[in-house]
Structure 1
Amino acid sequence: KAMDSLDNFILPYPADGGCDEGPSYWGRAGASLFDCLELLYSASDGKIDLFDHPLIRNIGTFICKAYIRSPYYINFADASAKMSIEAPLVFRYGKAIDDATMQQFAAFAAREQNLASRMPGGSISRALPALFTLNELHATQAAEPLLRDVWLPNIQVMAARSEEGSASGFYLAAKGGHNDESHNHNDIGNFIVYHDGLPVLIDAGAQTYTRKTFSSQRYELWNNQSAYHNVPTINGVMQKEGPQFRARDIQYKATSQQAELSLDIAGAYPAEALVESWHRTITLNREKSIALRDVFKLNETTAPVQFNFITPLGVSIDAPGTIRLTDAASQRTFLLRCHASLQPTIETITLDDERMSRSWGNKIFRLVLTASELKPNGDFTFAILKY
């Protein structure tokens, strides 16, 4: 019966091992699967061994692929941007699948969490085996999984950084997928940008759960709406929830010079958006910039197109077509360049929710760039540069 239950969990899991709930849920998704497989392996004296199966390996290594730089992880859907891993568990999973990157990541996390001088926390089912892991964990070389390129084709998530093994420079993560994912947000075509391991453009993530979160009123919550992600509002219409609202024509490529995701996000919007096609291309030009290009065709125009950007940085307008993003605390400044005809407005979002403020502090900002003309066809480019 227990193995049947595990089969029911494993069989629908995407082959790339991607957890569409995000890395903060991996700890009770893929990691809980490992808990069970480890018990079966031990109880059967090694006869039940799934650790060499590609899917089990991919489920495990997802936690490394979602890592930006401590404490930040890719946080699409309801995932939190800041989190920490259970180092002994990640180490044991890495050892079981013979993945050195996972083991070294766990050793890095153990040092960050000072596990050499304190007991690991968590449930007793994890704390107990952790006790027999600590000596080997502390003896393992520590390293962050700073992977240059990540592509998860089944959940349609990409990530890229300027250089393998370094958090310096720009980092980009972007997604396609559909709007009926686990802990879904309406966010097809969304992307996040970091620089030197610190946030520039963000996914705000989830607030503390309430009754409304998992009800028919879920998309009344601002943080679940597409207008509060880095995606456009078309003819005054936001994206719609449901499995039929999805990306199409997904293309991903990565070279030594750049990494790029292109997709048509028109299918993420309901019929009243009157959009025939909306081809979005998001590019990391390594060590240089982030580029965004939106080329669209509308069946009719009833309201100006709006481009939304969410940031924890202070926003100011330098000149038409030049927006300054500033983090006074770290003395970081970036420029967002766009067509001079786009009209900027800035919304301050006060964060009084404890869960969200743990990631972003007491406020974030929404920059809305509105087209000055009603045109059925458009081609807009944006660039994010370090100042």
Structure 2
Amino acid sequence: MKKYFLLLACLGLLTSPGYGYEKRDLLQKKANLEQVRTRLLPNANWVPYPAYTDRAGWERLAGTFRQEQISEGEKYLDFDWKIIKATDYLEFERSGSRTIMQDPFGANSSALSALVLAELCEGKGRFMDQIINGVWVFSEMTSWVLSAHLGHYQKSQRSLPDHNEHVIDLTAGDLGSLLSWTYYFFKVPFDRVNPVIAQRLRQTLQERILDTYMQRSDFWWQAFDLKPGTTVNNWNPWCNFNVLTCFLLLEDDPAKRAAGVHRTMVSVDEFINYTHTDGACEEGPSYWGHAAGKLYDYLQILSYATGGQLSIFEEPIVKNMGEYIANSYVGNGWVVNFADASAKGGGHPGIIFRYGQAVNSPVMTQFAAYLEQRHATTAINAGRDLFRAFEDLAYHEALRKTPAALPAYTSVWYPQTEFCYMKNGGGFFFAAKGGYNAESHNHNDVGTFSLYLNSTPVFIDAGVGTYTRQTFGRERYSIWTMQSNYHNLPLINGVPQAQGRQYRSRSVVFDAQKQLFALDLAGAYPDSALVDSWRRSYRLVADGLEIQDDYLLKAAKVPHQVHFLVWQKPDLSQPGAVLFDVDGQQVRLHYDARQFTAQAEVIPQPDTRLSQVWGEAIHRVTLTATKPSKKGKYLYRISQVK
């Protein structure tokens, strides 16, 4: 029971029965197992990249990036491969730290991918010994699974790898994919050194990825035994993409290859089934590249492997999922963030461009070109993902030639996910959400909003700090960033919103012409809040934002508090107004001084994951009602002071 609870808390698996789920099964409708077998190109004939020995081909593919990629690899010619100690794994149980194990692991995988790319670009064998060292290090490891994930799947429920039990998580899949490409390109030169190198690697990949995927159906992300109301999030396309890559590069038996590929199709269908038709990523833009972005990678490599015979890029939901990332961009590197997503990071231009081409979306391709022009790529940073690195090289020239533009809209409404974005001519960008408090990477945030002026955040969503054991355990909602009273929401009768599938928005209204978004927040609060209704409406007007709260309570025990999380230091010197200096422009939050008293507090940001976005501190403004009341109306107006 303990393991089950932790997994639910970690992944937001408790949702409403049938919420967002539609039995589309788009991939399975395209091809059954036998059709998959006949459509798969034999062996690795599908690979669209030059062989290692094709020096002219790699000269063309690497193009202007060739020397930079070689230089990146040279940084690791004397790399001291890291040992991940038993105590590094155990630290997750002892202190909750994930990074003590993850940092050396990540250093090793980054080194290997850089060395592989450098050797492919140069082709002189100069990097081969270090590549062999990296392959050997990973072959010698008991597991490629992160300490934070092992306890969910091992019978021991501990964070130390058990050599008797293989597990596929995000990093095990990533390493499987990375090492499969390494095997594909370098098996022959490995054999010249010693055949044991490639033999050991191939056996390890067989046991840890191919056999494990076919033998186990209990990984939650596979969704093979999906219960009504459970979440299927970014883990599904991410892990399945890696598994698919391994089958396509490694498995020579046509029947086994087809069985593995078809099994991934059944699994990935569940991710598409779970996703709303509107295509929004409930995990936020930070996770888009691992969710919809990884779905694109999966679909693209499946299309390559079948000569284009197996493709669902024409499906509207796939296009909607792609365009979400462009629509969620505010400007100047800022994005609309909810839940655990960060407020910074517009996405990777290469993946957005290729996705846009596949679904025929100028919105995406031109947005990708905009991002590319903002941060011109000088080298391809593969991380653990060689497929994206190869694709970046292949498509970069087309990306570079594409006209750049940001999405042009006045409002965007995601009716099933209940995300709302609106802009006006005065430079304001407004975003708000409805939804429910058990989304993937959930925060208790039904009804919260963010507001930007000329692409600068003013009223904000903080995001999340560095992941620890507590982030995805029983203590998750003791962390301040997860709580509704650290979002732009009311504290009703001294009670914040609660987590769970039953805590959700009611009576949601979106009116594009009026630039209005409204919903009843009452359903997001537990019974102890004694609230019958709390109708909040947002209206974007020419010079700012109007917010109105209409409420009805069963009883009024304590004065209400209304919280606003802000980036700039607030000035409370004027009754009825809170002033902010936003890049030399003054913004005012106006409230009725007869109804409220205002206070402000500094929230220091010692966590680097938050301070890298917000700096040393953010602020919380609290409006406290002058007296308790069962029924009433509050008005707040945010505007630029001329």
TMscore range, shorter length: over 0.9
Within 1, Cα distance between the matches of 2:409 and 2:613?
Answer: 23
1:263 aligns with 2:519: yes
- Where does 1:317-328 land on structure 2 (aligned, <5 Å)? 317-327=572-582
Aligned to 1:39: 301
Secondary structure class of the residue paired with 2:515: strand
Which residue, 427, 434, 444 being the options, matches 1:186?
444
Question: What does residue 92 of structure 2 align with?
Answer: none
Q: Secondary structure at the match of 2:623?
A: strand
Q: Secondary structure at the match of 2:627?
A: coil
- 1:272 paired to 2:528: yes
Bigger CA radius of gyration: 2
Q: Secondary structure at the match of 1:105?
A: helix
Equivalent AA in structure 2 for residue 243 of structure 1: R
Aligned mate of 2:538, from 273, 282, 291: 282
Aligned partner (choices 273, 278, 282) of residue 20 of structure 1: 282
What is the CA-CA distance between 1:121 and the residue it aligns to? 4.2
The match for 1:247 is 505
Tell me the equivalent position of 1:363. 617
SS at match of 2:555: coil
Return the TM-score normalized by structure 1. Answer: 0.95
Q: Is 1:103 paired with 2:365? A: yes
Provide the identity percentage: 38
Q: How many residues align?
A: 377
Q: How far has the Cα of 1:5 moved from its partner?
A: 1.6
Match of 1:231 in 2: 489
Matched, 1:374 2:628: yes
Please identify, of 147-156 and 173-182, the stretch whose mean Cα deviation from structure 2 is larger: 147-156
Q: Distance in 1 between matches of 2:607 and 2:410?
A: 34
Q: What does residue 554 of structure 2 align with?
A: 299
Matched, 1:118 2:384: no
C-alpha deviation, 1:31, in angstroms? 0.3
More strand, by proportion: 1
Unpaired segments of 5 or more residues in structure 2? 1-262
Q: Is 1:215 aligned to residue 469 of structure 2?
A: no
Which one-letter code corresponds to 1:203 in the other structure?
D
User: What SS does structure 2 have at the residue aligned with 1:297?
Assistant: strand
Once the two structures are TM-superposed, the CA of residue 321 in structure 1 deviates from its matched residue by 1.0
* Counterpart amino acid of residue 299 in structure 2: L
- Alpha carbon RMSD of aligned pairs, Å? 1.1
In the TM superposition, residue 147 of structure 1 has moved relative to its aligned partner by 2.9
- Which whole-Å CA distance do the structure 1 matches of 2:619 and 2:585 have between them? 16
Structure 1: which amino acid aligns with 2:380?
M
Query: Contact 2:366–2:404 (CA<8 Å) still a contact in 1?
Result: yes
- How many angstroms does 1:195 deviate by? 0.5
Counterpart amino acid of 2:608?
E
User: Which stretches of structure 1, 4 residues or longer, exceed 4 Å deviation after superposition?
Assistant: none
| Structure-1 separation of matches of 2:571 and 2:402 | 47
Question: What is the identity, as a one-letter code, of the residue corresponding to 1:66?
Answer: S
Distance in 1 of aligned mates of 2:371 and 2:427? 22
Residue matched to 1:315: 570
One of 43, 60, 73 as aligned partner of 2:335:
73
SS of 1:223 mapped into structure 2: helix
AA matched with 2:632: G
Structure 1 residues 141 and 120, CA gap change in structure 2 (3 angstroms): farther
Q: Do the aligned partners of 1:87 and 1:109 also contact (CA within 8 Å) in 2?
A: yes
SS at match of 2:304: helix
Shift of 1:146: 4.3
Q: Give me the whole-angstrom Cα distance separating, in 2, the residues matched to 1:362 and 1:260.
A: 34
Q: Which amino acid aligns with 1:303?
A: V
Q: Render the CA deviation track for 1:121-141: whole Å, top value 9, x for unaligned.
A: 442110001111011110110
**Other-structure match for 2:638:** 384
Paired AA for residue 246 in structure 1: R
1:283 alignment partner, SS class = strand
Give 1:274 deviation, angstroms.
0.4
Contact 1:334/1:384 (CA < 8 Å) preserved in 2? Answer: yes
Does structure 1 retain, via aligned residues, the 8 Å contact 2:438–2:499? yes
- Alpha-carbon separation, structure 2, partners of 1:143 and 1:200: 24
AA at the equivalent of 1:189: G
Please state how far the C-alpha of 1:150 moved relative to its aligned partner.
0.8
List aligned pairs for 1:81-160, cutoff 5 A. 81-115=343-377, 117-119=378-380, 121-122=382-383, 123-160=385-422
Question: What's the counterpart of residue 194 of structure 2?
Answer: none
1:158–1:261 contact (8 Å) kept in structure 2: yes
Alpha carbons 2:335, 2:346 under 8 Å: kept: no
* Conserved 8 A contact 1:67-1:146: no
Distance in structure 2 (CA, Å) of the matches to 1:77 and 1:203: 8
Give the Cα–Cα distance (whole angstroms) in 2 for the partners of residues 212 and 88 of structure 1. 34
1:326 deviates by 2.0
**Unmatched segments (≥5 aa) in structure 1:** none
Query: Is 1:69–1:146's contact at 8 Å kept on the other side of the alignment?
Result: no
Q: Deviation at 1:347?
A: 1.0
Equivalent in the alignment of 1:351: 605
1:332 matched to which residue of 2? 585
